[in-house]
Structure 1
Amino acid sequence: MRKYLGLLAFGLISTTAVAQSVSEGIAAWQRGDAAAAVRIWQPLADKGDADAQFNLGQAYRLGKGVPLDLASAQGWFDKAAHKGHVDAQATLGLMLFQSGNRVGALRWLSAAADAGEPRALLMVGTALYNGDGIAADPVKAYAYVSRAAAQGLPPAKATLADLDQVMPLELRKQGVALAQKMAAPGQKPASASPLPTKAAIGKAKAPAVAPAPKPATVKAPATPIATVPTTTANGAWRIQLGAFSTRASAETQFAKISGRLAGRQAFYVAAGKVVRLQAGPFESRAAASGACAKLAPTPCFPVEGR
């Protein structure tokens, strides 16, 4: 039986009952001795243990027991993800999403979503609805978000309620039917993305439910929310905070996070059928990246203003 130690933002620390040394690392971590946990996991990770690799990635991502090093964290997550570790696939996908690598993010999030990981289902479902980096498919979007909501994920429940407000009943019925087909035993998962995947990704392990970022909402507020810049910052960089079906939905999202943006201004950029929410300006890419880090786990990545 797999054990999980809950952590913030992206995922979990995991282990298997057969790998007693990994379990001992979990015990050390829970005692607050992260350095001892890392010493236990390192040789196991070097030998290819996916749980140890994922745990080591979490240690580097959090800067616990080792210096904070997102590049090393991503490297360990990548190793575990290629072995079919679902939590690693989802966490890696979220990291790539925040860094602006949408192609890589959707590849790994789609793999985790195919295995039923709720955070990945929500992220890919939202991308499918918005047509953000992937062909729009509202029926499949509803199916993915429904599956995430059925696992008890609060942001997925909220997003599903938003979809219920804007999608026709017939499309929602089709989405429910598709969700039931996807979840049926023995059914081969249908990938949400046409992006190529590497061979030899192992059978995914059963995921654990963990809080996920809500990448987008689609429900329009009763009254549009005005945004007024209260900062004198300038520069050519912004941060992108999602793509939405309406400007009103983007305004609602900005209202939720504007208090953490030090008075930065909202920009609503029309892109086909969606509105991209951006905030800024920032004087450099580094400053924009720093702002994104403070907004985690809200999806966010730097873009050049235009």
Structure 2
Amino acid sequence: MRKLLLGLMIGALAVLPAQAQSVRAGIDAWQKGDTAAAVAIWRPLAEKGDADAAFNLGQAYRLGRGVKLDLSQAQIWLDRAARKGHVDAQTTLGLLLFQNGNQTAAMRWLNGAAEAGEPRALLMVGTALYNGDGVARDPVKAYAYVSRAAAQGLAPAKATLADMDSVMPLEQRQEGVALAQSMVNRTLASESKAPSSSKPPAAKPIPPKVAQAKPPAPPKATPASPPKASAAATGRWRVQLGAFGQRKSAETLYAKLSGKLGGKPAYYVPAGAVVRLQAGPFESRAAASAACARLAPQPCFPVETK
């Protein structure tokens, strides 16, 4: 049996655009290159318990921007945010702990983030389940996790899924697809029982088709506003601009960037305790990447919807 290259995957995942949670003033300073000022804004808020600020501060220490690179401090602040249910912090902390050799603690955080549907966490946990690295080997569940990550457009997950397709029996892959769909259905059922709010429903990942397995199409996040006629387009691609603890922060960022998006509408996609800001649609990955280039230095990356 060929093992998936979990260790080599860590580096690629660590440099993916982790969605910075931010106080508006801090992220404005960060984007202008004044990272020290951004850190100065986030630190007191993080000390008061703000999960978004703690996540940002942890990222600053992890990257060595605005402060001296210090992975121990990065871990402290990411841990504070993760304990408040911050999904991106849980994922980033899990990856950092894994890099440092603490696989047991890493998997605890990554498992929680994977249950919330975070694609990097789904890939890491799925790969560990396939290899039996520190957990009982479960190729069916592994395929379900990796396929959900791939369905969200995560490039390393797509590559891993292709590798799994080449070595796993068709029956196991079909079981994995069915399991992934049941995970999505349970999430949908849970959300339908939750108190109603002003937030639109989440765009749920759906596993890719395997042979004759045909899961139903996932619900789509409703655009916050209709696209302008000049921006009318079809396509499965969007750009993701950030993830926020409060929808209002996402709306503020969209208002600032909308002029550079050619009238593309915003999509506010709940993901655990955060709201991801996306805009689109775009007809291809290339078109979405071009839009990201126009938004630089705003963190931005293409995501594929189903």
Q: Which TM bucket (shorter chain)?
A: 0.5 to 0.7
User: Structure 1 residue 57 and structure 2 residue 58: aligned?
Assistant: yes
User: Structure 1 residue 204 and structure 2 residue 272: aligned?
Assistant: yes
Q: Relative to structure 1, is the Cα distance of residues 168 and 13 closer, same or farther in structure 2, using a 3 angstrom cutoff?
A: closer
Residue in 1 aligned with 2:90?
Answer: 89
CA distance in 2, matches of 1:69, 1:105: 18
Shift, 1:35, TM fit: 0.5
> How large is the Cα RMSD of the aligned pairs?
2.0
Shift, 1:207, TM fit: 7.1
CA distance in 2, matches of 1:136, 1:187: 28
Q: Relative to structure 1, is the Cα distance of residues 124 and 54 closer, same or farther in structure 2, using a 3 angstrom cutoff?
A: same
Q: Which amino acid aligns with 1:12?
A: A
The 3-state SS of whatever aligns with 1:135 is coil
CA distance in 2, matches of 1:126, 1:50: 28
Residue in 2 aligned with 1:128?
Answer: 129
Shift, 1:14, TM fit: 2.5
Q: After the TM superposition, which residues 1-306 of structure 1 pair with which residues of structure 2 at under 5 Å, given as runs?
A: 9=15, 11-15=17-21, 22-184=23-185, 185-187=188-190, 204-206=272-274
Shift, 1:9, TM fit: 1.3
Q: Deviations over 1:139-183 (max 9, x none)?
A: 000000000000001111111111111111111111001101111
CA distance in 1, matches of 2:104, 2:61: 24
Q: Relative to structure 1, is the Cα distance of residues 28 and 89 closer, same or farther in structure 2, using a 3 angstrom cutoff?
A: same
CA distance in 2, matches of 1:208, 1:152: 14
CA distance in 1, matches of 2:114, 2:14: 20
Q: Please tell me whether the aligned partners of residues 18 and 92 of structure 2 are also in contact (alpha carbons under 8 angstroms).
A: no
Q: Deviations over 1:50-99 (max 9, x none)?
A: 00000000111111111111100000000000000000000000011011
CA distance in 1, matches of 2:140, 2:56: 36
TM-score (norm 2): 0.57
Shift, 1:204, TM fit: 3.2
Q: Which amino acid aligns with 1:205?
A: A
TM-score (norm 1): 0.57
Residue in 1 aligned with 2:268?
Answer: none
Q: Which protein is richer in helix relative to its size?
A: 2
**Runs of at least 5 residues in structure 1 that lack an aligned partner in the other structure:** 1-6, 17-21, 189-202, 210-306
Q: Please tell me whether the aligned partners of residues 57 and 72 of structure 1 are also in contact (alpha carbons under 8 angstroms).
A: yes
The 3-state SS of whatever aligns with 2:20 is strand
**Runs of at least 5 residues in structure 2 that lack an aligned partner in the other structure:** 1-12, 192-270, 278-306
CA distance in 2, matches of 1:158, 1:178: 20
